[in-house]
Structure 1
Amino acid sequence: MTPDDVLQAFRDADALLEGHFILSSGRRSPVFLQKALVFSQPKVSEMLCAALAERVRAEYGEVTVVTGPAVGGIIPGYEMARQLGARAMFAERNEDDVLVYKRGFEFNEDDRILLMEDIVTTGKSFRETVAALEEYPGTLVGGGCIIDRSGGKADVGTTLLSLASIEFPDYDPNDLPPELAELEPVKPGSRRKF
């Protein structure tokens, strides 16, 4: 599967949006990937994760647990675990806004853990999940995502495999290009901070 195939899956789901968007990080972009529309379609999720699972097997070998941050890592993490024959878990934010493992999820000393996300922009949630995993046994073999919108520049705290690595532009809200500044900003994402 090529990066163009991945973007076409987003276009087909009406999930590749253009305008002026406030990203979860607070940065601004003329492109937004409404991943919920893609991952609401089981067949599309299966297709994307099956393609990435091939790369994961080749690069990381056996994986026994797939985990990621809620909410973005839950559906692709579950589907990736299904593809790899692994267990699926997720970290979620506690009352202090820190990613932790709840719900009785446990890791074993011999677990080989893949950290999975839908889309990586700044790598913040990825790094926070890596930090949460430091409290548990097992080995983090690396990470995976469907789209790395940083073009490989985001620090995720581990290695990262993606189906598509594309550097979509994003800007500080106080330093917008004129054509973006003319448009009313929209916040279609899920984080509450911005």
Structure 2
Amino acid sequence: APVRSLFAERGAEGKFALRRGFALAPGERVLLAEDVVTTGGSVMEVAPLVTGAGATVAGIAAIADRSRGGFRPPVPFFALTALNFETWPADALPAHLAGVPVDKPGSRPGAPRVAEARP
């Protein structure tokens, strides 16, 4: 059977949707793929689009897993690599990082701001 590639996009209201004519059929098995998983929030927002169409989430794949083992979905999860950066809340930075600008990882609005030690 052919393997299709679809993608979900955030709409103006900030929720994921299948757009551009993409649709899933009942009974299809879907592998959700993500570039980087930090909390797993984005990929888990997409899962209801799959199940709502009558399809099944067969697994989740990512290029990089930044969750430090914290992302444990109810389906198999595969990542090519794990990235474990040391992080701190913005109000608890070590003195040597006090002057370094704070990064906001991820793309979701409202994601926590943390500083990261970079190699």
TM-score normalised by length of structure 1 = 0.49
Q: State the distance in 1 between where 2:72 and 2:53 align.
A: 22
**In structure 2, which of residues 89, 93, 96 is the aligned counterpart of residue 176 of structure 1?**
93
Shift of 1:123: 1.1
Residue of structure 2 equivalent to 1:145: 62
- Between the aligned partners of 1:172 and 1:155, the Cα distance in structure 2 is 23
Q: Distance in 1 between matches of 2:37 and 2:6?
A: 19
Deviation at 1:156, TM superposition (A): 4.6
SS in 2 for 1:131: helix
Aligned-residue identity in percent: 33
Identify the range of structure 1 (113-122 vs 176-185) with the bigger mean alpha-carbon deviation: 176-185
- Larger RCO (CA within 8 A; separation ≥ 6): 1
Residue 81 of structure 2 corresponds to 164
Deviation at 1:155, TM superposition (A): 4.5
What's the counterpart of residue 45 of structure 2? Answer: 128
Alpha-carbon offset, residue 101 of structure 1: 1.0
Contact 1:111 1:139 (8 Å CA) reproduced = yes
In the alignment, structure 1 residue 93 sits paired with structure 2 residue 6: no
Deviation at 1:116, TM superposition (A): 0.2
Which structure: greater helix fraction?
Answer: 1
| Structure 1 gap segments, 5+ residues each | 1-63, 65-84
Change (3 A) 1:86 1:177: farther
Q: Which string of whole-angstrom CA distances, capped at 9 and with x for unpartnered residues, describes residues 12-38 of structure 1?
A: xxxxxxxxxxxxxxxxxxxxxxxxxxx
How many equivalent pairs are there? Answer: 111
Contact 2:51 2:57 in 1 (8 A): no
Do the aligned partners of 2:50 and 2:56 also contact (CA within 8 Å) in 1?
A: no
- TM-score, with structure 2 as normaliser: 0.75
CA distance in structure 2 between the aligned counterparts of 1:178 and 1:157, rounded to whole angstroms: 40
Q: Secondary structure at the match of 2:91?
A: coil
Residue among 16, 19, 29 paired with 1:112? 29
| Structure that is richer in strand per residue | 2
Unaligned ranges ≥5, structure 2: 114-119
Q: Cα 1:106–1:114, aligned 2, differ >3 Å: closer, same or farther?
A: same
